[in-house]
Amino acid sequence: MKQMSLKIGKRSTGKKKLSLEHRKMLAKAELKKLEKEEEKLAKDRKRYYLHSKARQFGLMVFATRRQILVTEDLSEKQAYYCQKLMQFGYNIQEAIS
């Protein structure tokens, strides 16, 4: 019978050491990713604020379709919030009554 010899050694399961340049590059990429995410969240907060204010002034705003339903002439405040929401990609839909 032949005996099989098993090589018992340490496995390199630990993290490999990365060079300083590589770690800097990874850190910059992570920072850029976080900044982009922060900008997106700030934009969403602003859109949510405008959305709630527009509803407060009597506008019918639909976030899922990104539409503003207008049934009558707009007041100055309503026109302001319509304009701001249009900058976020909302469309104005006129209701026929």
* 24-43 residue pLDDT tens: 999 999 999 999 999 999 99
Pairing mode, strands 67-70 and 91-94: parallel
pLDDT in tens, 37-77: 999 999 999 999 999 999 998 888 888 888 888 888 888 99
Residue scoring higher pLDDT (6 or 56): 56
Q: Does the residue 37 lie in any domain?
A: yes
Cβ 77 vs Cβ 57: under 8 Å: yes
Domain assignment of residue 88, yes or no: yes
Residue 62 lies in a domain: yes
Number of compact structural domains in the chain: 1
In a domain, 64, yes or no: yes
Q: Which residue would you say has higher pLDDT here, 15 or 32?
A: 32
Asked whether the beta carbons of 93 and 68 are under 8 A apart, the reply is yes
Does residue 1 form part of some domain?
A: no
Domain range for residue 86? 20-94
